[in-house]
Amino acid sequence: MPDEPLVLGIETSCDETGVGLVAGTRLLVDAVASSVDEHARFGGVVPEVASRAHLEAMVPTLQRACREAGVAIADVDAVAVTAGPGLTGALLVGVASAKALAVSLGKPLYGVNHLAAHVSVDQLEHGRLPEPCIALLVSGGHSSLLEVADVTSGVEPLGSTIDDAAGEAFDKVARLLGLPFPGGPYIDRAAREYGEVTIDFPRGLTSGRDLQRHRFDFSFSGLKTAVARWVEARERSGEPVPVGEVAASFQEAVCDVLTQKAVDACRSRGVSDLLLGGGVAANSRLRALAEERADRHGIRVRVPRPGLCTDNGAMVAALGAELVRRGRPASALDLPADSSMPVTTIVA
């Protein structure tokens, strides 16, 4: 293998068909075909629709990625694919495609963990990861705090959501407010335009007793219910629902808890680097509040640009390139798609 392996990454864990090409820590191309518009009318991702969309998009997205990067598919040194966690049918499309490519090209195959890939993608912008670091990963399916000693072999879960993930809560509250799917960007925009936090919505798992049992865990179902009741009360009184006001106060409650626990994790573990990842990491308030709170304690914050926070093939390729660089063993060709793959399993 060369010093900078050329790795093809395939991501199909949810509704994005992502194909990335990475040489070492250098991003050559990040091609994404999204099926979000097909899910919008349902107000959420429909697994069967996502799987069919991946089947239709896979070959054209692979061809586009190679064309834009100016490389031939035969030039790649390894193939990496998200093996889990995610939607089973969607994962199967990516895993089957990656196996076919690996066999036909005679290249090693790496079935990688989706969450570890979200951590690895930051290397494409900011260079090698500081190890150890604390990673706060927040998306539609995950809200996790991880201690990363080695992104290819040593990821320890500190906490996660016990009900709704942060991105899921954004989608549900957006629906209550009549905003489009996916809700995150629309709530962020409405909150910025309103500019004030005026409603004191609850912060889940932050009381003294909760912190004893769930210090680094998250809960957003109670917050979602509180917003729903506030909106319903407003509608019963015949008053209009102030979308911007509710959006700003809801967003503040989510970002307050996420950043408070992330900084606490850094301090308790003696770690001075905090990495944000996942689709919700594109939220402007989360980024600003994380940097503000971390700065008070001398903690450095690393956040990829918004396009690399959402699901993409570049993050899978980035982790694959790091696995190759460190000489980690490849996956067997009979690797499964594992919808509940634990983050402690980096490579299937």
Say if CB 141 and CB 168 are below 8 A apart: yes
What mean pLDDT is predicted for residues 247-276?
A: 98
For residue 2, pLDDT over 70 is answered with: no
Distance CA 167, CA 117 (A): 18
What mean pLDDT is predicted for residues 47-65?
A: 97
What mean pLDDT is predicted for residues 208-233?
A: 97
pLDDT, residue 18, reads 98
Closest among 247, 239, 133 to 190, alpha carbons compared: 247
Identify the H or E element spanning 238: none
Amino acid identity at 224: K
The class level of CATH for 6-121+312-325 reads: alpha beta
Say if CB 108 and CB 327 are below 8 A apart: no
* pLDDT digits 0-9 by tens, 23-32: 999 999 999 9
Every domain of the chain with CATH number 3.30.420.40 lies at 6-121+312-325, 133-306
pLDDT, residue 43, reads 82
Q: To which CATH superfamily is domain 133-306 assigned? A: ATPase, nucleotide binding domain (3.30.420.40)
Distance CA 199, CA 177 (A): 15
Residue 275: is it exposed, middle or buried by C-beta count within 10 angstroms (0-12/13-18/19+)? buried
